[in-house]
Amino acid sequence: MFKLFNDLYKYQSYFIDNSNFLDLLDPFIGELEAMRLSVSSVAVKEFWKPLEVEVFHNEGTVDLPDLSIWRLGLVVMTKRAYESLVSLLSPFGEFLPVKLLGETGYLYHCTNIRQFSDSEVTYRMHGDIFAGVSSLKFSEGFNDHCVTGIHKVCSDTYFSKEVAMVIKEQNLTGLLLSDDLTLMAPY
């Protein structure tokens, strides 16, 4: 498995206006559940309407990515990225159409949520405070292509080796994939 990060030093980032996002979802699932969507298995595709994706200019970048994490568990994709990844990722989430720079893009919502057990995670402690993760290992036989994992320190989204291979083979840009699952930030 690989932990996902935006490649902030090479690519701009995509985002969706939070007010528009909450206005769309609040009547159907409530504001609190909408704010927690990135760590929720609640499907929203049946009432989703395409929202406008905006560009955040990371300092020193000019290139637009194919993939960009908007919120944990929510990845904005170009049509090309969608076409490359849809067959692998569909069983583990939903693809929500968005308006991306005048084109159709997709917001991938990972609905495959996993609460890590204490046997899968070892924590770094600062007194009685969970200060970080010193080891994290998926249980043997785990073979999902995408999962949002939750533990006592934070939540992160992970892609399988197969998804990472497609990203590399198709030269899809915008993400850093780390096989160090304890890494807090690769920058």
Establish if 74 belongs to a structural domain. Answer: yes
Establish if 9 belongs to a structural domain. Answer: yes
Express each pLDDT in 154-169 by its tens digit. 889 999 999 999 999 9
Establish if 174 belongs to a structural domain. Answer: yes
Establish if 186 belongs to a structural domain. Answer: no
For residue 119, pLDDT over 90 is answered with: no
Q: Give the residue with greater pLDDT, 177 vs 123.
A: 177
Question: What is the dihedral angle through the alpha carbons of 162, 167, 171, 174, rounded to the nearest 10 degrees?
Answer: -160
pLDDT score for 134: 86
Global pTM exceeds 0.85: yes
Range of the domain at 82: 2-114+149-178
Express each pLDDT in 81-111 by its tens digit. 999 999 999 999 999 999 999 999 999 999 9
Total domains present in the chain: 1
pLDDT score for 61: 82
User: Exposed e or buried b for every residue in 53-92, given b needs 16+ CB within 10 A?
Assistant: beeeebeebeebbbbbbbbbbbbbbbeebbebbeebbeeb
pLDDT score for 57: 86
> What separation, in Å, do the N-terminal and C-terminal C-alpha atoms of the chain show?
20
Least confident segment among 46-55, 107-116, 131-140: 131-140
Establish if 30 belongs to a structural domain. Answer: yes
Chain centroid offset of residue 85 CA: 13
- Per-residue pLDDT averaged across 113-121, rounded? 88
